[in-house]
Structure 1
Amino acid sequence: MAEPSFLQTGLTGACPQCGARTLFAGPVGFAPKCDHCGLDYSAFNVGDGPAAFLTLIIGALVTVLAISLELSLHPPFWVHILLWVPITAIAVVYGLRIAKGMLLASEYRNKAREGRGSDPDA
């Protein structure tokens, strides 16, 4: 199977090397390695970058939508809670899967690894 694109890796949880859907072991946690080709996912450092961007993007989007709903329909407060809490949670989980998958695929394609410093013996 050919290497999947960044978007395919993010959307489907496909391994960036073989394309098998083995990238995630949980909702947003990476598996230790690919069960199909053996690619070690722990060698990549995705970190918290996607979470920070998603907090800003999803937070801003949900805030604008909630304010728009309030100003146009004036629903009771419980409607906002029942509507925006699950929408926010679902958007964060799926957004993290997509962003983390795409970032890991980018690191794989660009052969990004942890810094080794300037010591030639290391």
Structure 2
Amino acid sequence: MTMATDIDDRALKPALLRGARGRCPRCGEGELFSKYLKIRSTCPHCALDLTHQRTDDGPAYITILIVGHVGVFLLTSLFHLMADRPLVLALSMSAVCLVLALLMLPRVKGGMVGLQWAKRMHGF
């Protein structure tokens, strides 16, 4: 006897990876974002309704957490090399952290959409 939840099984790992690549968590073919961070209302390939997938501040928090840890590691590693040039150190660290955050944010947001879809966490 099969239950209704067994019919539509949603694997977590593929959904996370598809979302992190900016693809639909269900089919992996359609684009997830219509702009830099704007989630499409539906998948253009499989017509999955994405209007209920709200990530709010979660991706920004995770991105800041990761970039902060990487930044502190880099700062402590580079401090002894660039201690005599604090302005260069501050500007280079700021640039690295900014670029890293901008590159990570859509991937983290896509992964969180994949998590929400796989775990049926929608309609907040």
Stretches of structure 1 that go unaligned for 5 or more consecutive residues are 116-122
- Structure 1 pair 57/44, CA: closer, same or farther in 2 (3 Å)? same
1:55-111 Cα deviation digits (max 9, x unpaired): 122112212212321123425233224422232122112222221111111111122
Q: Is 2:1 the counterpart of 1:8?
A: no
Contact 2:43/2:50 (<8 A) preserved = yes
Indicate the residue corresponding to 2:63 in structure 1: 54
- Please point out which of 26, 29, 36 is paired with 1:20: 29
Comparing 69-78 with 12-21, greater Cα deviation is found at 69-78
Please tell me the root mean square deviation across aligned C-alpha atoms, in Å.
2.3
Distance in 2 between residues matched to 1:114 and 1:21, nearest whole Å: 22
1:30-66 Cα deviation digits (max 9, x unpaired): 2232222222222112121121122122112212212
What one-letter code is carried by the residue in structure 1 that aligns with 2:18? Q
Higher relative contact order (CA 8 A, sep 6+): 2
Distance in 1 between residues matched to 2:24 and 2:35, nearest whole Å: 15
Task: Please list, as runs of the form range in 1=range in 2, the aligned pairs for 1:73-84 lying within 5 A after superposition.
Answer: 73-74=82-83, 76-84=85-93
SS of the residue corresponding to residue 80 of structure 2 reads helix
TM-score for both structures, normalised by structure 2: 0.74
Q: Percent identity?
A: 25
Contact 1:28/1:93 (<8 A) preserved = no
Stretches of structure 2 that go unaligned for 5 or more consecutive residues are 1-10
Contact 1:27/1:93 (<8 A) preserved = no
Contact 2:41/2:49 (<8 A) preserved = yes
Q: Is 2:118 the counterpart of 1:109?
A: yes
**TM-aligned CA deviation for residue 26 of structure 1:** 2.2
